[in-house]
Amino acid sequence: MDLLGHLQRMARNNLWSNDRLYRAVLELQPGEFEAERTSFFPSIRETLNHVLLVDLFYLDMLEQKGVGRAIGTCFKPFADAQSLAEAQAEFDRQLVAFCDGLEAGDLDRRVPTDRGDAGMILERIGDLLAHLFLHDIHHRGQVHAMLAGTSVEPPQLDEFLLDYDLRFRREEIERLDLG
């Protein structure tokens, strides 16, 4: 597998992992989604809103739409898990489509990234995608840990890449059309 193929698989993993995580989050009892917890962000709701905001910011830069950091002023945090889950799923499909539209040579192409006071920094598309996936994995792990203190068991999030694990994700792969 080449790097482009790996990043395309990671985009699908992102969709699949978020689907699994949100299915757990949607099972929370009233008050658990927004309850204060010990983590980088003080609740599951705030953590997941942060993930979506950063996802939108990076896709804007990758697609060179030009909104940049102003995306933060346009973003209205979601109060409920269902609406946030739907917005995240929509984003995840856009990211899969973006990655599927890339060619190997695109990964070294540099795009301007809005870094506020530091200015516009040219970054490689491949590096931006790798960073985005790491960011999402990092914060999904925090939500996973926070779920351990709720009424919902945290879902398994590492059964995507290996053939051995296909039996654990087959239904989801078919439902999400990731085959």
**Residue 160 has what pLDDT?**
87
Give pLDDT tens digits for 160-172.
888 898 889 999 9
Give pLDDT tens digits for 135-147.
999 999 999 999 9
pTM for the model stands at 0.94
**Residue 41 has what pLDDT?**
93
Q: What's the angle, vertex CA 157, arms to CA 152 and CA 162, rounded to 5?
A: 150
Ranges under pLDDT 70 in the chain: none
**Residue 163 has what pLDDT?**
87
**Residue 159 has what pLDDT?**
86
**Residue 85 has what pLDDT?**
98
